[in-house]
Amino acid sequence: MERLLHYVWKHKILPLKPLTTEDGQTLEVIDPGLHNHDQGPDFFNAKIRLGGVVWAGNVEVHQRSSDWYRHSHDSDAAYNSVILHVVGEVDGAVRTQEGKTLPQVRLDIPESILQSYEELCRTEDYPRCHRIISSIPSIKVHQWMDALLVERLKERSEKVGERAGRTGGDWERATFVTLSRSFGFGLNGDAFERWAMRIPLSAAGKHRDDRFQIEALFLGMAGLINDVRNVRNEQEMLRLQQEFDFLRHKFSLGETMRREDWRFLRTRPGNFPSTRILQIAELYHSGRAQMSRLLEAKSVEELQGCLAVKGMTAASSRLLVINTVVPLLFAYGRHTSNEDICQRAVRLLETLPAENNYILRQWQDCGLKVTTAADSQALIQLKRQYCDRIDCLRCRFGYEYLSRSNRCGTPG
């Protein structure tokens, strides 16, 4: 209920009758302020008229007055700047760390909004707001989709940046780790990232021209040499093990992964970790997936050519562009403050066709147009960060749902 109070205050869904504080002062909300999602007061830089006097400062929202003390705001100097306490229930006075008694206003949540919000939280349907999607103006849909896309790109680029940080600012190695994770295609993504972080690229680079040695190193560090019997005869497997033993001793390599670290169940042979590692070895040997090559590529087709390997479908290579190249470019653009590189990442998504999965098909069934990878990435972000968390109050589609219920009753 406190989150719903935040929503009502943020969007100024206020009663038609004049607002009055608990001590009898008339209250006019000029500006509810900027919603703060971090530590500190809930709304910054609000502006209110209280008893005829204009005040500017911060606002705190709670379900009950006593929550002020339960959260220890009375001993926190950060809350001395609060000018108004907005609550659903007044159960006592509140004071700041400086000893100032704060004015409080009890805010009622409109019944129509309460019913619609409870309906959104309760329903098992997906999307929860499906009944209104087709009627939302296209400009509002596009604005929200654009914001979701940027949000997703920032999240994914931050992960790339973290990898670069863990490798001492080595963007070439961060590229290798990001590419390897993408080769896990979800199921083995975490395992591939752990594996890639164990590969000593500086040592591997000395043997880059010898594809067989690269395969031995990569498979050996994964603990999967014995899993390539379908593509290697016994003599070749023996050589792979001998080459790996030699490289492991030469470069004093640490602990390898185990077969148990990888997931094979319900995985087709073409997507076995051992198969994917051989494909990564091919890309590393050829040098086509180096960061410089990816940065220089001029088109989606050229990028797909860089990432093309035997056994890789066109759909899978498109996913590699989406999951490897786009986050990498966006991260590197942010790291170097180069907006052109960031925009290039966005254009790649706008050029590629939308992914085909059940999440997107459900949105399409609601009447939402999904044509490009930019659309599909935005909707994946929407599901994972909003729908799955039932965080409808931060979603613009959820806002439309609740605002319509406030105007004309529960959506039908």
Whether 259 and 157 map to the same domain: the answer is yes
Whether 267 and 210 map to the same domain: the answer is yes
Whether 239 and 326 map to the same domain: the answer is yes
The dihedral built from the CA positions of residue 117, 118, 120 and 121, taken in this order, carries a sign that is: positive
Query: H or E stretch including 47?
Result: strand 43-50
Domain end call among 59, 84, 109: 109
Alpha-carbon distance of 130 to 146, in angstroms, equals: 20
Q: Which range of residues forms the domain containing residue 51?
A: 2-109
Token representation of residue 258 = 């185990």
Q: Assess contact for 259 and 208: CB atoms under 8 A.
A: no
Q: Which has the closest alpha carbon to 49: 89, 18, 95, 16?
A: 18
Residue 292 falls inside a structural domain: yes
- Kindly give, in sequence order, each residue whose CB lies less than 8 Å from that of residue 209, ignoring residues fewer than 6 positions away: 285
Give the pLDDT confidence score for residue 410 in this predicted structure: 43
219-240 b/e with 16+ CB inside 10 Å = b?
bbbbbbbebbeeebeeeebeeb
Whether 17 and 54 map to the same domain: the answer is yes
Whether 173 and 63 map to the same domain: the answer is no
Q: In angstroms, how far is the first alpha carbon of the chain from the final one?
A: 23
Q: Is 19 helix (H, G, I), strand (E, B) or coil?
A: strand
Give the pLDDT confidence score for residue 14 in this predicted structure: 83
Peptide bond into 127 cis (omega under 30): yes
Token representation of residue 297 = 């590529």
Residue 356 falls inside a structural domain: no
Alpha-carbon distance of 102 to 84, in angstroms, equals: 6
Whether 386 and 303 map to the same domain: the answer is no
Domain end call among 308, 328, 351: 351
Q: Other CB atoms closer than 10 Å to residue 291's CB: what's the count?
A: 20
Residue 33 falls inside a structural domain: yes
Give the pLDDT confidence score for residue 407 in this predicted structure: 57
Q: Long-range contact list for 178-182, CB < 8 A, 24+ apart?
A: 178/324, 178/327, 178/328, 179/280, 179/283, 179/289, 179/320, 179/324, 180/280, 181/323, 182/319, 182/320, 182/323, 182/324
Domain end call among 351, 371, 392: 351
pLDDT in tens, the chain (412 residues): 888 999 999 988 887 788 999 999 999 999 999 999 889 999 999 999 998 999 999 999 999 999 999 999 999 999 999 999 999 999 999 999 999 999 999 998 888 888 888 888 888 888 999 989 999 999 999 999 999 999 999 999 999 999 999 999 999 999 999 999 999 988 899 999 999 999 999 889 999 999 999 999 999 999 999 998 878 888 999 999 999 999 999 999 989 999 999 998 777 888 899 999 999 999 999 999 999 999 999 899 999 999 999 888 888 899 999 999 999 999 999 999 999 999 999 999 999 999 888 889 999 999 998 999 999 999 999 999 999 999 999 999 999 998 876 654 444 4
How many structural domains are present in the chain? 3
Whether 176 and 323 map to the same domain: the answer is yes
Whether 62 and 162 map to the same domain: the answer is no
Whether 278 and 178 map to the same domain: the answer is yes
Whether 246 and 102 map to the same domain: the answer is no
Q: Other CB atoms closer than 10 Å to residue 313's CB: what's the count?
A: 10
Alpha-carbon distance of 109 to 206, in angstroms, equals: 67
Whether 271 and 380 map to the same domain: the answer is no
Give the pLDDT confidence score for residue 356 in this predicted structure: 85
pTM, entire model: 0.82
Residue 312 falls inside a structural domain: yes
Bridge-based pairing state of the strands 104-106 and 82-89: parallel
Residue 220 falls inside a structural domain: yes
* Phi/psi-derived region of residue 76, left when phi > 0, alpha when psi is between -120 and 50, beta in every other case: beta
Whether 96 and 194 map to the same domain: the answer is no
